[in-house]
Amino acid sequence: MTEQALTRITVAGSAGTEPYDVLVGRQLLGELPFLLGDRAQRVAVLHPEALAETGEALRADLAEQGYEAIAVQVPNAEEAKTAEVAAYCWKALGQTGFTRTDAIVGVGGGATTDLAGFVAASWLRGVRWVAVPTTVLGMVDAAVGGKTGINTAEGKNLVGAFHPPAGVLCDLAALESLGTHDYVGGLAEVIKAGFIADPAILELIEKDPAAARTPAGPHTAELIERAIRVKADVVSEDLRESGRREILNYGHTLAHAIEKNERYTWRHGAAVAVGMVFAAELGRIAGRLDDATADRHRALLRSVGLPVSYRGDQWPKLLDTMKVDKKSRGDRLRFIVLEGLARPAVLESPDPAMLLAAHAEIAA
């Protein structure tokens, strides 16, 4: 029998939190009891509707191992990131008698792990949790780094907590059931990691964009691992986003406004793709970024099938929403831009005319 390759990427403890590992490979669920800790008696498996079978199989497996295990099904995608769904989960924990030594497992895409982490952060002011991401985006970004949260009517991720998981299990086999649209959406965050920190990612995708669109591509594991390393490196240094972590928000100021404007019918990754083109244009217009690197954004994102434009008649609404972005300080809008490949920087209070000009470049 050939041994399955297993990659272990450690996220260092920061701001008083424990270090933890992100495992990338196949058939990793054997690691779960170790990650749940030796004091957990009850385990809640939070999963989306789309993964009802996976959630139930995981629950049954944990029950066989002696845990009092419950499966808590939540809506698919962004519909799960609401106060109502969080309250539904708290009720399930309360009715099962969850104590501070019990644990939560979030299995699903980024929306599910954001919710599961938030429920873990808020229940009894914080219980242990393990992330089992099942989308590219979840593996390379959402499940790593301890940003957990839900949306409110006013915007994306406005309520949440920094609450790192005890471990992250990325089983590459899970990606085989993911639709192309969702698979490709995750590539936006992979490409983001390439532009802000690891240009080798961009070269791997440029070599064969069609192959990058499927889990069977020759570089799938390498792309995922490289993007995880970028994220792990940044959050190891700055868990609470008091500085360097802001670079992970590249493209997100506009992206979150588009998601809200579309009532979350756009996937996060698609919005981030448009947001990165906007940020690249803003960098170019501000005299910070060279033409070739700015143009490379559009070419690369387009080559894998991600959107690079958005309807042009929504600018006033988008601008209004961007004002509540977490990087804003008072009335000052702040954007992450590039000053070259892998050279992210903050652009403070850009002139409204610059914003409008960058918007014109993405307006459909």
Ligand X SMILES: NC(=O)c1ccc[n+]([C@@H]2O[C@H](COP(=O)([O-])OP(=O)(O)OC[C@H]3O[C@@H](n4cnc5c(N)ncnc54)[C@H](O)[C@@H]3O)[C@@H](O)[C@H]2O)c1
Per the annotation, where are the binding residues for Zn(2+)?
Answer: 189, 252, 268
Q: Binding to ligand X (CB under 6 A): which residues in 314-353?
A: none
Measured distance CA(88)–CA(94) in Å, rounded: 10
Burial of 293 (0-12, 13-18, 19+ CB in 10 A): buried
Beta bridge partners of 9: 22
Question: Quick one: which segment of 43-51, 140-148, 306-314, 339-347 binds ligand LNCXM5UN (CB under 6 A)?
Answer: 140-148
User: Length of the chain, please?
Assistant: 364
Among 159, 141, 163, 142, CA closest to 150: 159
- Is 276 a binder of ligand LNCXM5UN (CB under 6 A)? no
**Separation of CA 253 from chain center:** 15
Binding of ligand LNCXM5UN at residue 59 (CB under 6 A)? no
Secondary structure of 214-246 in HEC code, one letter for each residue: CCCCCCHHHHHHHHHHHHHHHHHHCCCCCCHHH
Residue 326 sits in the site that holds ligand LNCXM5UN (CB under 6 A): yes
| Side chain identity, residue 223 | L
Q: How many residues touch ligand LNCXM5UN (CB under 6 A)?
A: 11
Residue list 73-102, contact with ligand X (CB under 6 A):
76-78, 81
Nearer to ligand LNCXM5UN, 322 or 362 (CB): 322
- Start-to-end CA distance of the chain, whole Å, equals 53
CB of 260 to ligand X, least distance (A): 11
DSSP bridge partners of 43: 69, 103
Closest CA to 177 of 204, 208, 214: 214
Q: How far is the CB of 135 from ligand X (least distance, A)?
A: 3
Per-residue binder mask for ligand X (CB under 6 A), 217-246, x = binder? ------------------------------
Given candidates 157, 261, 293, 321, which one binds ligand LNCXM5UN under the rule CB under 6 A?
157
Nearby residues of 273 by Cβ (< 8 Å), 6 or more positions away: 188, 191, 251, 301, 306, 307, 308
109 binds ligand LNCXM5UN (CB under 6 A): no
Please list every residue from 95 through 154 that binds ligand X, using CB under 6 A: 108-112, 114, 134-135, 137-138, 141-142, 145, 147
Contact set with ligand LNCXM5UN (CB under 6 A): 141, 145, 147, 157, 189, 241, 245, 248-249, 252, 326
